[in-house]
Amino acid sequence: MTLPPILAALRKHKSGVVLITLQIALTLAIVCNAVFIIGQRVATVQRPTGMDEQNLFLIQQQIVNAPTGNDAASLERRYAMLRSDLMTLRGLPDVASAAPVRSLPLLQSSNNGGVGLQPNQDHSTATTTFYGGDEDLLKTLGVRLVAGRNFTASEITHDDRGGDWQPPVAIVTRALADQLFPAGDALGKTVYFNGGAVPTTIIGIVARLQTPNVGWGSDYNWNSTLLPTFPNDTYTRTAVRAKPGQLDAAMRDARQALVAANPQRVIRNGFAGFIGIYPYSDIRARAYRADIGMALLMGVICLVLLCVTGAGIVGLTSFWVGQRRRQIGIRRALGATRTDILRYFQAENLLIAGMGVALGAALAVGLNLWLMQQFAMDRMSLLYVLAGVVALLALGQGAVLAPALRASRVSPVEATRSV
């Protein structure tokens, strides 16, 4: 099979060839970038939070009959009620551990602030999110302590409703420690939170713990600080770790036991998902819904695009076959085999698709550069383009097969027939 006859035939169908080339080029450009976006979103969604997420669930509830004031008596009374709830949960047979929490990674409810190295520092050295809990917090979340020690029970305070309370000790993530003390000697050092003058000593460093927000503050995703504070409010959150494989049973028992201990509470699922008992997988799914939605949408668009382009190739080639029946008949009468005819259409398609993917590869890179500029996207690896080129060439060959086979079945007798 030689090229000149194919080129001569294509010259007769310039507009058709240009159109199908452009279509293949645009399809390649969009599919490459869409798959790249899917890859990025999937990578975002799969980032580990630093916790052991299996068997973890969260109870968010409101204690209705607790005092609401901030005076010492109310604080103590409320703490006693929260404490007794915690004891109830810890006593359940399927519960491994439980801890009061202010927030959790991906929960989209956060208290963030600055960390400085000097008292009353004007501009903080790093930004962090604040988690609060008691001495069982690390164990319950399954966060790995890499240096220093955990809080002791005597360090836990409970006269706090949230806000800028500055404790004498704190545990930070490795990422935050390295940002504050690049020399890697953060353990035992003193820091000041939110531009204050009260010193806080770093007593422990954990490997990794993500912040509660996924969209906002992505520049400090891994800067977390754990404070030894038992959140003392009528609206409370408790993280609970079930014994392996006992998640459902533990969630069911927790609800029953809490209601039995004090029915004056709101724990039904409701109020826009702020109250209720949720496995951690629900929290993760909720946080990344938009990313998963976008990835799915891109996937559907890719699929439909490839189908449309494939169908376009089938349609156009079918017309060309129909148009050239006489010429095919003549070639067959002059001795061309069926395989020759088949190969002819396959080669023709390869040529057109080759031009399309060459143009499309350039377009794909250009589109990625434009997206980088407009939407702060990362640079796309050329492997995506390469995979796209292979996929579209394969699509072209697949689409051309049926019409080409039909062409190869044209009988030599056609040469003698007029249209």
- CB 236 → another protein: shortest distance, Å? 12
Q: Are 372 and 378 in contact (CB under 8 A)?
A: yes
Taking residues 18 to 47 in sequence order and writing x for each that binds another protein by CB under 8 A, - otherwise, the string is: -xx-xx--xx-xx---x--x----------
- CB 47 → another protein: shortest distance, Å? 16
CA 317 to CA 348: how far, in whole Å? 10
CA 204 to CA 211: how far, in whole Å? 18
Report how many residues bind another protein under the rule CB under 8 A: 61
Q: Is 163 in the site for another protein (CB under 8 A)?
A: yes
Q: Is 49 in the site for another protein (CB under 8 A)?
A: no
CA 27 to CA 315: how far, in whole Å? 17
- Residue 392, CA distances (Å) to 94, 357, 399 in order: 54, 7, 10
CA angle 48, 211, 237 (to 5 degrees): 100
Nearer to another protein, 204 or 212 (CB): 212
Q: Which residues, listed in sequence order, are joined to residue 170 by a DSSP beta bridge?
A: 202
Which position among 315, 340, 402, 413 is part of the footprint of another protein (CB under 8 A)? 315
Q: Is 365 in the site for another protein (CB under 8 A)?
A: no
CA 351 to CA 358: how far, in whole Å? 11
Q: Is 117 exposed, middle or buried (0-12, 13-18, 19+ CB in 10 A)?
A: middle
- CB 44 → another protein: shortest distance, Å? 12
**Strands (DSSP E) found in 64-125:** 95-101, 112-116
CA 56 to CA 237: how far, in whole Å? 13
Nearer to another protein, 280 or 320 (CB): 320
Which position among 311, 372, 386, 402 is part of the footprint of another protein (CB under 8 A)? 311
Nearer to another protein, 123 or 154 (CB): 123
- 3-class state of residue 127 by DSSP: strand
Residues in the chain: 419
Q: Between residue 164 and residue 203, which ones bind another protein under the rule CB under 8 A?
A: 164, 194-197
Nearer to another protein, 187 or 294 (CB): 294
DSSP string, 16-62: HHHHHHHHHHHHHHHHHHHHHHHHHHHHHHT---SS--TTEEEEEEE
Q: Is 260 in the site for another protein (CB under 8 A)?
A: no
Name the one range near another protein by CB under 8 A: 162-170, 276-284, 384-392, 393-401. Answer: 162-170
Q: Is 102 exposed, middle or buried (0-12, 13-18, 19+ CB in 10 A)?
A: buried
Nearer to another protein, 164 or 248 (CB): 164
Nearer to another protein, 151 or 320 (CB): 320
Sites of contact with another protein (CB under 8 A)? 15-16, 19-20, 22-23, 26-27, 29-30, 34, 37, 62, 64, 68-70, 120, 122, 162-164, 194-197, 215-216, 218, 234-235, 266, 271, 274, 286, 289-290, 293-294, 297-298, 301, 304-305, 308-309, 311-312, 315-316, 318-320, 322-323, 371, 374-376, 418-419
